[in-house]
Amino acid sequence: MNSHALPPPRTRGRANGPRRALPAAVAGILGLVATQTMPLPADAAASTLGAAAQQSGRYFGTAIAGGRLGDSAYTTIASREFDMVTAENEMKIDATEPQRGRFVFTSGDRIHDWAVRNGKRVRGHTLLWHPGQPAWLQSLSGSALRQAMIDHVNGVMAHYKGKIYAWDVVNEAFADGNSGGRRDSNFQRTGNDWIEVAFRTARAADPAAKLCYNDYNIDNWTWAKTQAVYNMVRDFKQRGVPIDCVGLQAHFSSGNPYNGNFRTTISSFAALGVDVQITELDVQGASPTTYAAVTNDCLAVPRCTGITVWGVRDSDSWRSSDAPLLFGGDGSKKPAYTAVLNALNAAGSSPPRAHGVRGAP
Confirm or reject binding of residue 103 to ligand 9MR (CB under 6 A): no
Confirm or reject binding of residue 280 to ligand 9MR (CB under 6 A): yes
CB 60 within 8 A of CB 84: yes
| 262-271 and 288-299 helices, crossing angle to 10° | 20
CB nearer to ligand 9MR: pick between 66 and 352 = 66
Confirm or reject binding of residue 284 to ligand 9MR (CB under 6 A): no
CB nearer to ligand 9MR: pick between 92 and 263 = 92
For residues 120-149, which are near ligand 9MR according to CB under 6 A?
132
Q: Which stretch binds ligand 9MR (CB under 6 A): 88-96, 106-114, 144-152, 190-198?
A: 88-96
CB of 179 to ligand 9MR, least distance (A): 20
CB of 330 to ligand 9MR, least distance (A): 21
What values do phi and psi take at 123, rounded to 5?
A: -90, 135
CB 349 within 8 A of CB 46: no
**Which position among 186, 318, 328, 360 is part of the footprint of ligand 9MR (CB under 6 A)?**
318
| 288-299 and 335-346 helices, crossing angle to 10° | 20
CB of 285 to ligand 9MR, least distance (A): 17
Confirm or reject binding of residue 273 to ligand 9MR (CB under 6 A): no
CB nearer to ligand 9MR: pick between 50 and 324 = 324
Confirm or reject binding of residue 88 to ligand 9MR (CB under 6 A): yes
Q: Tell me the sheet residues that pair with 182.
A: 174
CB 130 within 8 A of CB 183: yes
**Which position among 96, 107, 190, 249 is part of the footprint of ligand 9MR (CB under 6 A)?**
249
Neighbouring residues of 144: CB distance < 8 A, sequence distance ≥ 6: none
CB of 214 to ligand 9MR, least distance (A): 7
Among 66, 62, 45, 41, residue whose Cα is nearest residue 54:
45
Confirm or reject binding of residue 97 to ligand 9MR (CB under 6 A): no
Strand locations in 118-217 (E):
121-129, 166-171, 210-215
HSE value, Cβ hemisphere, 13 Å, CA-based, for 240: 0
What values do phi and psi take at 118, rounded to 5?
A: -100, 15
Q: Which stretch binds ligand 9MR (CB under 6 A): 39-47, 84-92, 116-124, 298-306?
A: 84-92
Which residue is nearest to ligand 9MR, using beta carbons? 318
Amino acid at 277: Q
CB 211 within 8 A of CB 176: no
CB of 125 to ligand 9MR, least distance (A): 6
Q: Which stretch binds ligand 9MR (CB under 6 A): 87-95, 110-118, 155-163, 287-295?
A: 87-95
Confirm or reject binding of residue 89 to ligand 9MR (CB under 6 A): yes
CB of 272 to ligand 9MR, least distance (A): 22
CB 258 within 8 A of CB 226: no
Q: How far apart are CA 361 and CA 358, in angstroms?
A: 9
Classified as helix, coil or strand, 252 is strand
**Is 196 designated active site?**
no
> Residues in the site for ligand 9MR, rule: CB under 6 A?
88-89, 92, 132, 171, 216, 249, 280, 318
Q: What residues act catalytically?
A: 280
